[in-house]
């Protein structure tokens, strides 16, 4: 305890707290995994993305922010009235990442569409480990099939070369072995 009294900054204290590879209920623990499965819905569940141009604009918006380094993009599906996306925030919060996607798309689509675009808020699931990551990716990829949308074009499986890999902290492997 005497040693802790000598610490002069919160940075020094946080350096002593072990970084965890899973969410913790300990408020002093730092979690190194911050990958999320996000779901958000269009206003009044309108089939806004049934129109190809709108779905493509949303995908372009996501890749634009991903290319700016705002987040890593691991998976997505743009369904007619909702979006599933798996991402890892960069230096942003998950809320800010969702704001980029929803706000960026809304700004772009306003030129051709007046009115509300999204319902307020979103659902987030913090991905716990590599198995949960794979389960979320499979869930997102399978979403069109559950709706009987065969050969659905607006799913990440059509963009595999452009997506980011599983975060290293989640694999438990050194970067050179990934």
Domain boundaries, the chain: 34-165
Helix (H, G, I), strand (E, B) or coil at 103: helix
All residues at 6 or more sequence positions from 53 whose CB lies less than 8 Å from its CB, including other chains: 112
Residue 173: pLDDT band by 50, 70, 90 thresholds? low
pLDDT tens, position by position, 54-109: 999 999 999 999 999 999 999 999 999 999 999 999 999 999 999 999 999 999 99
How confident is the model over 5-48, as pLDDT tens digits?
A: 333 333 332 333 333 343 444 444 444 569 999 999 999 999 99
CA 56 – CA 153 distance, rounded (Å): 10
pTM of the model: 0.78
pLDDT tens for 101-154 read 999 999 999 887 778 999 999 999 999 999 999 999 999 999 998 889 888 999
Q: Which fold has domain 34-165?
A: Alpha-Beta Plaits (3.30.70)
- Residue 32: the pLDDT is 57
């Amino acid at each position: 305890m005497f040693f802790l009294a000598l610490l002069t900054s919160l940075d020094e204290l946080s350096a002593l707290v072990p970084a965890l590879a899973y969410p913790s209920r300990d408020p002093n623990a730092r979690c190194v995994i911050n990958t999320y499965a996000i779901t958000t819905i269009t206003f009044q569940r309108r089939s806004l993305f049934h129109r190809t141009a709108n779905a493509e604009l949303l995908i372009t918006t996501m890749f634009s922010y991903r290319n700016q380094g705002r987040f890593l993009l691991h998976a997505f599906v743009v369904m007619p009235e909702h979006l599933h996306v798996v991402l890892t925030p960069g230096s942003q919060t998950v809320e800010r990442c969702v704001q980029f996607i929803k706000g960026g798309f809304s700004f772009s689509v306003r030129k051709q569409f007046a009115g509300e675009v999204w319902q307020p808020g979103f659902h987030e699931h913090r991905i716990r480990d590599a198995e949960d990551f794979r389960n979320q990716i499979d869930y997102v990829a399978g979403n069109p099939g559950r709706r009987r949308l065969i050969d659905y074009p607006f799913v990440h499986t059509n963009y595999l070369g452009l997506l980011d890999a599983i975060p290293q902290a989640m694999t438990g492997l050194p970067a050179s072995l990934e």
